[in-house]
Amino acid sequence: MQIAASLRKKLRFRPSPPQVMLFGFVVIIMIGAQLLSRPFSYTGDQQISYLDALFTSVSAACVTGLTILNTGIHFSTFGQIVVIILVQIGGLGFMTMATLFALLFKKKISFRERLVLQESMNYGSTEGVVKMVRKVLLYALCIELSGAVLLSSYFMLEMSAGQALYFGVFHSISFFNNAGFDLFGQFPERAGSLIHYVEDPFVNIVSMLLIFFGGIGFIVISELLTYPKNRKFSLHSKVVLSVTGILTFVGAVVIFLLEFSNPLTLQPLSATGKTLGSLFQSITARSAGLSTIDPSMLREVTQFFLIILMFIGAGPGSTGGGIRVTTFAILVGAMVAMIRGKEDIVLFRYRIAKQQIHQAIMLTMISFAIICSAAMLLSITETGSFLAILFEATSAYCTVGMSSGLSSHLSTPGKVIIMLLMFVGRLGPVTLAFALNSRSKKELYRFPEGKITIG
């Protein structure tokens, strides 16, 4: 009896934190697809196929924003609410939302659940992770509420109070979670996304602030709020804020110079419009996917530059994607150290551990390989220029959501490829690998060191 009980205990499946995240996202996506494929979720008599509903559910849960259907036209109010709930769960993480309900019902958070929370939030340790979840929920609620109030009050100038309130809440959640979904397709006289507001300082500034706070990560937000009292930042926050600021400024300048004379983008705009348009594209390209300028009208060199920004992405533990700005900082630091003949990578007078350098290189190479492989497959299944295909593949994997116009014309295999890219990009290739192969054996021996010629 004891042997049988012991055997049952060993055979009992205990999912690891990465596996919990994998299964959780799959369940949420499937529930969303089921709801969106029902008649009460779409408008008109034309039924939405299950594949299109699944694509929308994946895009929303993975806070990407790539769409093959117009959210403001094809989905009913119920369907739109399902989309924005998926965005909220996907942005904050389903474990964070589950912890919210556990805290509301005063349920104790187990150590295993803390491990999953640590994994989902990219937090350093299990110590203080529940306290961090409380902060995340509070920060998200306050920022989204502030954004909703500001946007709703402004939208009341051009639509009814009820619609303005609905639009304000929907877009505040979408922008903060870097999802890129919008409802402005309801207005046939307007272009998609925020193109109508390209020269509007208020909408631009509020939207950029929401995207910025959603893209830097909750750890950085917490340190920003406590800075007046503590007067210090961690190395993580210093790197995220400095690299984000540099990329935003450099990106805006490059886009301004490349598109200044383009009659289809910046040329017709005023000086304010050119400045806002350049700055907005620089910020949104790394995470949010919204546009005040049609990406398909940009010059090819600008589109390629946006691909680079999308690949870099936002901050760790944020609602954005990409390889992350910290990974990019380590790679640049490694290059500078090698050029100078230094052995260590030093950022803000701190030496970066070798393990983190290896992780940064691994993540970059895996991400690069996935995007290139997907672009090659899409070149077979889809028609269009390779740059447009690469743009779409990068946008999907990095959960950005900017589109060169390819998404609305995808074939069935193309939709499957893009969905897989969005899912892997949101979950993370390393987390996915650990989820699929959780048993790691410790090597009992090491091979002799060898040398090869490089360069």
pLDDT of residue 2: 52
414 has pLDDT over 80: yes
Residue 444 belongs to a domain: no
Q: How far apart are CA 330 and CA 240, in angstroms?
A: 11
* Mean pLDDT on 138-165: 93
Q: Would you say 335 and 347 are in contact if contact means Cβ atoms under 8 Å apart? A: no
Relative orientation angle of helices 412-427 and 429-436, to the nearest 10 degrees: 90
Alpha helices (H) in 93-126, listed in sequence order: 94-104, 111-121
In a domain, 315, yes or no: yes
Q: Is 454 within the bounds of a domain? A: no
Phi, psi of 350 (to 5 degrees): -120, 135
Q: Give dist(CA 239, CA 216) in Å, integer.
A: 10
Most confident of 223-227, 352-356, 385-389, 423-427: 385-389
**What's the token pair of residue 388?**
């447009």
- Give me the domain span that covers residue 209: 12-432
Within a domain: residue 298?
yes
Report in angstroms the alpha-carbon separations of 251 from 68, 145, 236: 28, 29, 22
- Give the pair of three-digit tokens for residue 322: 């990409």
Please check whether residue 396 lies inside any domain of the structure. yes
> Please, what's the b/e burial string for 232-241 (b: 16 or more CB within 10 A of its CB; e: otherwise)?
ebeebbbbbb
33, two tokens = 């697809």
Does 145 fall in a domain?
A: yes
Per-residue pLDDT tens digits for 106-151? 566 565 556 555 555 555 555 666 677 777 788 888 999 999 999 9
pLDDT at 144 (0 to 100): 93
Query: In total, how many domains does the chain have?
Result: 1
- The three-class DSSP label of residue 164 is helix
pLDDT in tens, 350-396: 898 888 888 889 889 999 999 999 999 999 999 888 999 999 999 99
DSSP 387-423: HHHHHHHHHHHTT----SS-GGG--HHHHHHHHHHHH
Residue 4 located in a structural domain: no
Asked, for residue 376, whether it belongs to a domain, the answer is yes
- Copy the structure tokens of residue 12: 């009992």
pLDDT category at 442 given cuts 50, 70, 90 is low
Which residue shows structure tokens 């390889």? 323
Number of residues assigned to the chain:
455
Joined together, the tokens standing for residue 295 give: 């990406």
pLDDT band at 180 (very low <50, low <70, confident <90, very high): confident
Residue 276 has pLDDT above 80, yes or no: yes
Question: Judging by beta carbons within 10 Å of its beta carbon (0-12, 13-18, 19+), is residue 430 exposed, middle or buried?
Answer: middle
- Collapsing DSSP to helix, strand or coil, 75 comes out as strand
Contacts by residues 380-384 (CB-CB < 8 Å, ≥ 24 positions apart) = 381/411, 381/413, 381/414, 381/417, 382/406, 382/409, 382/410, 382/411, 382/414, 384/409
User: How far, CA to CA in Å, does 164 sit from each of 152, 181, 450?
Assistant: 5, 16, 66
Higher local confidence (pLDDT), 91 or 75: 75
The pLDDT of residue 10: 47
Q: Which two tokens stand for residue 2?
A: 């004891």
**Tokens standing for residue 197:** 């507001």
Range name among 36-45, 171-180, 439-448 with the lowest pLDDT average: 439-448
Q: Show the tokens assigned to 161.
A: 């109070």
CB of 178 closer than 8 Å to CB of 314: yes
